Chain A
Amino acid sequence: MKKQLIQLEINNRVYEVPVNPRDLLVDVIRKKVGLTGTKKGCGQGDCGACTVLIDGAPVLSCITLAIACQGKKITTIEGLADDRGNLHPIQQAFVDHGAVQCGFCTPGMILTAKALLDRNPQPGEAEIKRGIAGNICRCTGYKKIVEAISAAAATISKGVVK
């Protein structure tokens, strides 16, 4: 089947990529665009590792067609740090609180956390747990992740960064 040239806006940059209609967003981001921060876990929309933000909403890129994402703003983990390379407060909090172990779930976890804090800037512990319920971590036991998100919320709400 013939490939089509589509434009994908990822982290405020437009990429032109040739795709088949059947190509999944996660594969296009990783293999064609070359941004390998987005992870492919279960491939069935269950584990949350492939989460990216599309127009601000957390979306499972392993069950999303790349061709359906034209004209939308896609954010991957590579798009969170600022231009000078300073980590986003959520990323920094994950480092500071030991919320990263093997790291495979971390990009999806952080983007899901960002979507949560964008909607609810000061979530309680139960709200955080509910917010990340679609992201599986097999290392940490989640405790440090929840603490990191809570700390990031506090940092962000001080208004220093957004």
Chain B
Amino acid sequence: MYLNHFEYYAPRTAGEAFELVGRLGDQAKVLAGGTDLMLILKEKLIKPQYLIDINGVKEFQGIAYAAGKGAVIGAATKISEVEHSAIIRDKYFALYQAAGELGSVQVRAMATIGGNSCHASPAAETPTPLVTLRARVVIKSAAGERQLPLEDFILGNRKTVLGVGEILTGFILPEPAPRSASRYAYIGLRNAMEIDAVNMAVNLVLEDDGRTIKDLRLVMGSVAPRPLISAEVPAILVGQEFGSELVGKAAAAAAGEARPISDIRASAEYRREMVAVLARRLLQEAFDAAREV
């Protein structure tokens, strides 16, 4: 089956890329890993006149970390590079876990971390831990730059705030707090190439006593049109000593906040149950890990 015709551009610098997206406007699509875009081109769901392949732009790639400041991940960085990065594993464990669970080894070698957020599938793996880790996105165009939290970038199923002429160029991750840990998990039908029925990430910060929760973020994926940040779980747990009774209460609250749908992968009821299961599991794992830091 043939794709529709398009013109192909492969800019070598960020400047060339911004000029192209500005000039070609909404007739163009940016090609990064292609693992989502090529499929929707094959299905003829979109018919762009131009493809702008940003894989040759070095400025959009790579992982940089500065102690005390945090990490910057280029949007065109391959998922496999995130998965195999020692610094991501060491500092941003939930993201390391999610990167390793995405697709298959081939998909991870092709797909990019920016593409995963730009495609904005509600079941996407990496936006969940990125939002949990309070990632900010860097959006650039020929006119300038803006930054915003990732949760404000993703508007819903395949919708982002990205305007004509703009490219998502990277993610900024703050330095993890002392005595903190993050964890990610998902529920799916098999261990590779599945689309998550539910995914979740937790970032938990402890007080000096090693028992009291100082700060907490729990984000759910695939149970709402975009990553869902729990309001109730931190309200129940922050300022409290970690304990199974409170964790059970928090897990039930998370299940209540989820707004899942029933589809081919799971029923809404099952998803809601699994939110509670994952919440209990991840809160415990993150707590145990934070005590070891």
Which positions in A face B, CB cutoff 8 Å? 1, 20-22, 24, 43-46, 48, 51, 57-60, 63-65, 67-68, 112, 115-116, 130-135
Answer whether residue B8 sits at the interface, using C-beta atoms and an 8 A cutoff: yes
Q: A63-B42, A130-B191, A134-B107 provided; 7 other pairs, C-beta below 8 A?
A: A46-B193, A60-B106, A60-B110, A63-B35, A68-B8, A68-B53, A112-B105
A133 — which chain B residues lie within 8 A by C-beta? 104-105, 191-193
Q: How far is the CB of A44 from chain B (nearest CB, A)?
A: 6
B39 touches A63 (CB 8 A): yes
B1 touches A131 (CB 8 A): no
A21 touches B104 (CB 8 A): no
Nearest B-chain residue to A56, judged by Cβ: B109
B6 — which chain A residues lie within 8 A by C-beta? 21-22
Contact residues, B1-22 vs A (CB, 8 A): 1-8, 10
Which positions in B face A, CB cutoff 8 Å? 1-8, 10, 31, 34-35, 38-39, 42, 51, 53, 55, 80, 103-107, 109-110, 191-193
Nearest A-chain residue to B4, judged by Cβ: A22
B2 — which chain A residues lie within 8 A by C-beta? 22
A58 — which chain B residues lie within 8 A by C-beta? 105-106, 109
Q: Which 3 A-B pairs have the closest CB atoms?
A: A134-B104, A133-B192, A21-B8
Task: Give complex CA distance A126, B39 in Å.
Answer: 30
B103 touches A134 (CB 8 A): yes
B1 — which chain A residues lie within 8 A by C-beta? 43
Task: Give complex CA distance A51, B6 in Å.
Answer: 25
B80 — which chain A residues lie within 8 A by C-beta? 57
Q: How far is the CB of A117 from chain B (nearest CB, A)?
A: 12
> Among B31, B39, B55, B191, which residue has its beta carbon within 8 angstroms of that of A45?
B39
A115 touches B42 (CB 8 A): no
B105 touches A45 (CB 8 A): no
Task: Give complex CA distance A35, B2 in Å.
Answer: 20
B53 touches A112 (CB 8 A): no
Q: How far is the CB of B102 from chain A (nearest CB, A)?
A: 11
- On whether A112 and B7 interact (CB within 8 A), knowing A63-B34, A63-B35, A134-B192, the answer reads no
Q: How far is the CB of B79 from chain A (nearest CB, A)?
A: 11
Task: Give complex CA distance A131, B35 in Å.
Answer: 18
Task: Give complex CA distance A44, B6 in Å.
Answer: 19
- On whether A45 and B7 interact (CB within 8 A), knowing A133-B105, A133-B192, the answer reads no
- On whether A57 and B193 interact (CB within 8 A), knowing A22-B4, A48-B104, the answer reads no
Task: Give complex CA distance A58, B103 in Å.
Answer: 13
Q: How far is the CB of B8 from chain A (nearest CB, A)?
A: 4
Task: Give complex CA distance A43, B39 in Å.
Answer: 9
- On whether A131 and B105 interact (CB within 8 A), knowing A21-B51, A64-B34, the answer reads yes
> Among B3, B35, B103, B104, which residue has its beta carbon within 8 angstroms of that of A22?
B3
